[in-house]
Chain A
Amino acid sequence: MNNDDTLPRSADHAVVDPVTMILAAIADVAPELESELADLDRDVDLWTELQLDSMDHLAVMTRLARQTGRDIPEREYPRLTSVNALSDYLRAVD
């Protein structure tokens, strides 16, 4: 599993595929869900699909922020519901 401190940060984080990073963050927060992640539809609302609550959401977002070196503002949350939407966002801010 990815360790926050060893992942490439800001400048060179592009070498890590955002989807991989997102799935790793979810697996880190909710290890029980790891087996479901491979089959997860990347366009559905992942929080609902995986029954992740607001605390899980914050934990995943905190990990992504740490790994990318950037905070995702709360106002972006409503549209960042699927793996693909999150991934696109992370790519775009790169």
Chain B
Amino acid sequence: MNDSTDLDVSCFDYLLPSLGADMDEGRVVEWRVGAGDTVHRGDLMAVVETEKSDIDIEIWHDGVVEEFLVEIGELIDVGTPIVRLRRLDAELSGTSDSARAPSGPPGPPPAPTEASAPLPPAPRFDRHEERIPASPLARRLADERSLDLSTIEGTGPHGAVVEADVRRTATAATATGSSAPERQRTPASMRALIAERMSRANREIPHYHLARDIDVGPLDAWLAERNASRPITERVLPAACLIRAVGLAAAKHREFNGAWVDDHAEPADSINVAMAISLRRGGLVTPHVEAADRRSLDEVMERLNELVAAARSGNLRASWMTGSTITVTHLGDTGADLVHGVISPPQLALVGFGRARRRPWVIEDLVTIRPIVTATLAADHRATDGADGSRFLATIAHHLEHPEDL
């Protein structure tokens, strides 16, 4: 009946997204919205349990929640419609009511919560496929990369998703398919995930490693002065400066920002600097600060606070985890002197910072004692060479040595 007509353009279904290449199914364990709620792009919809973790999922279109299509705890395949939404401009459509889901009362959006009996997923899935025009190649590529076609902006005829759209999205979402630790279940599964990713990195990526000592005296002094006049909630930590410096340097050296796809480097448009955050229960997660080159230092710090709190309380959003284009690891003041990093595939580089230590340092012809941080670069030799890497590290050093421009 309704499901076969495809006349219902006023509604659309939100499908269970794939949150990693190895995710085939999952279950909704919590709704973050209620029927009748108006949601906007980026709003949290639900908490989804996968084999590895519980993940907050977000919506990518505006709409009003009409009904929930699956039960809490029900095991469902990726691609299964889980929520039906009404488009915000639905009143323009004359066909809406006649094509509404059979379970909903006619007229205004149904109020009650978890709604009526779940409907068979298959027809809805077909319908959804019809609503997202895509070339067969694009469909296959998206499938290979575990990308949800509905999240890709189509630039083909009538907005169809074409090959270039998928490749562009895949590049922006470099970490998709490989980073899904988020709210990890157990230290053991976290270990297994890290084992798989790092094995892949060592198997596939010919790393080269460079190091450069940086005098962070000016940075420390600048931060101390800046923070002294600010309330604690507006103070900035060195970690935020490192992210910002790497973001700015990556904007200049684009060849280190992006992904290795098939047999070539694909630089990304956005600079999403992931930060390795260790978890006390073991393992680590790497959520990112998106567009780190275009945010102010205060904004980077604000986001970093948010990411660390979310990482440690297990509330990371999927969008913070996918789409990282370069990673920073900061050992902190109790850490080792330097790190020879392992790149997070398919990214092209990882920048590491060791602990700051007081070292003899030559300025002009005088030996003095300065706080020194050794910055290291692990980079993919398929994409760049040591000379490129040296320049990239030099740019990072320059930004940290001129903190007033951060």
Is B333's CB within 8 Å of the partner chain A? yes
Are A58 and B237 neighbours in the complex by a CB distance under 8 Å?
yes
Q: Given A55-B239, A73-B228, A74-B224 in contact, is the A32-B332 Cβ separation under 8 Å?
A: no
Do A48 and B334 touch across chains, with their CB atoms under 8 A apart? yes
Q: Is B135 an interface residue (CB 8 A)?
A: no
B233–A62 CB distance below 8 A: yes
A-B contact count (CB 8 A): 46
The CA-CA distance from A53 to B235 in the complex, in Å, is: 16
CB atoms of B334 and A51 under 8 A apart: yes
For B232, give its contact among A30, A48, A51, A61 (CB under 8 Å).
Answer: A61
Separation of A23 and B309 alpha carbons in the complex (Å) = 18
Q: How far is the CA of A7 from the CA of B114 in the complex (A)?
A: 37
Interface of B, secondary structure class, is helix
| Alpha-carbon distance A74/B281, docked complex (angstroms) | 29
With A32-B280, A58-B237, A62-B233 already in contact, the answer to whether A53 and B332 are too (CB < 8 A) is yes
B238-A54 in contact (CB<8A): yes
A44 interface hit (Cβ, 8 Å): no
CB contacts under 8 Å to A, within B208-239, are 224, 227-228, 231-233, 235, 237-239
Q: Which residues of B contact A59 (CB under 8 A)?
A: 305, 308-309
Pick from A33, A54, A71, A72: contact of B280, CB below 8 A: A33
CA distance A32 to B334 in the complex (A): 20
Per-position binary interface string of chain A over residues 35-66, scored 1 when its CB falls under 8 Å from any chain B CB and 0 otherwise: 00000000000001001011100110110010
Which residue of chain B lies nearest to A32 when distances are taken between CB atoms in the complex?
Answer: B280
> What is the CA–CA distance of A37 and B280 in the complex, to the nearest angstrom?
15
With CB as the reference atom, state the residue of chain B lying closest to A64. B232
Report A-chain residues with C-beta under 8 Å of the C-beta of B227.
74
> Judging by beta carbons under 8 Å apart, are A55 and B228 in contact?
no
Whether B228 pairs with A74 at a CB distance below 8 angstroms is yes
Interface size class of B (residues with CB under 8 A): 20 to 34
B149 within 8 A of partner (CB)? no
Nearest CB in chain A: distance from B185 CB, A: 15
Determine the chain B residues whose CB is within 8 A of the CB of A65 once the complex forms. Answer: 231-233
Task: Give CA–CA (A33, B237) in the complex, Å.
Answer: 23
Asked whether any CB of chain B lies closer than 8 Å to the CB of A75, the reply is: yes
B312 in contact (CB, < 8 A): yes
The answer to whether the Cβ of B11 comes within 8 Å of any Cβ in the partner chain is: no
- A72 in contact with B237 (CB, 8 Å): no
Q: Is the beta-carbon distance between A54 and B235 smaller than 8 angstroms?
A: no
B232 x A71 contact (CB < 8 A): yes
Evaluate whether A72 and B334 lie within 8 angstroms (CB atoms) in the complex, with A54-B238, A59-B309 already known.
Answer: no
Q: Which of chain A's residues have a CB closer than 8 A to the CB of B233?
A: 62, 65
Contact at A72–B239, with CB atoms within 8 Å?
A: no
Which of B228, B278, B280, B309 has the most chain A CB atoms closer than 10 A to its own CB?
A: B280
* Contact A72–B281 (Cβ < 8 Å): no
Q: What is the CB-to-nearest-CB distance from A27 to chain B, in angstroms, rounded to a whole number?
A: 13
Shortest beta-carbon distance from B320 to chain A in Å: 15
**B308 contacts A74, C-beta separation under 8 Å:** no
Instruction: Kindly list chain A residues whose C-beta atoms are within 8 Å of the C-beta of B378.
Output: none
Given A54-B237, A54-B239, A54-B333, do A71 and B231 touch, yes or no (CB 8 Å)?
yes
A-B contact pairs, 26 of them (CB 8 A): A29-B312, A30-B280, A32-B280, A32-B281, A51-B280, A53-B334, A54-B238, A54-B239, A54-B333, A55-B237, A55-B239, A55-B304, A55-B305, A55-B308, A58-B235, A58-B237, A59-B308, A62-B232, A65-B232, A65-B233, A71-B231, A74-B224, A74-B227, A74-B228, A75-B224, A75-B228
Interface residues of A (CB under 8 A from B): 29-33, 48, 51, 53-55, 58-59, 61-62, 65, 71-75
Besides A30-B280, A59-B309, 11 more A-B contacts (Cβ < 8 Å) are A30-B312, A48-B334, A51-B334, A53-B332, A53-B334, A55-B305, A58-B232, A58-B237, A62-B232, A65-B233, A75-B228
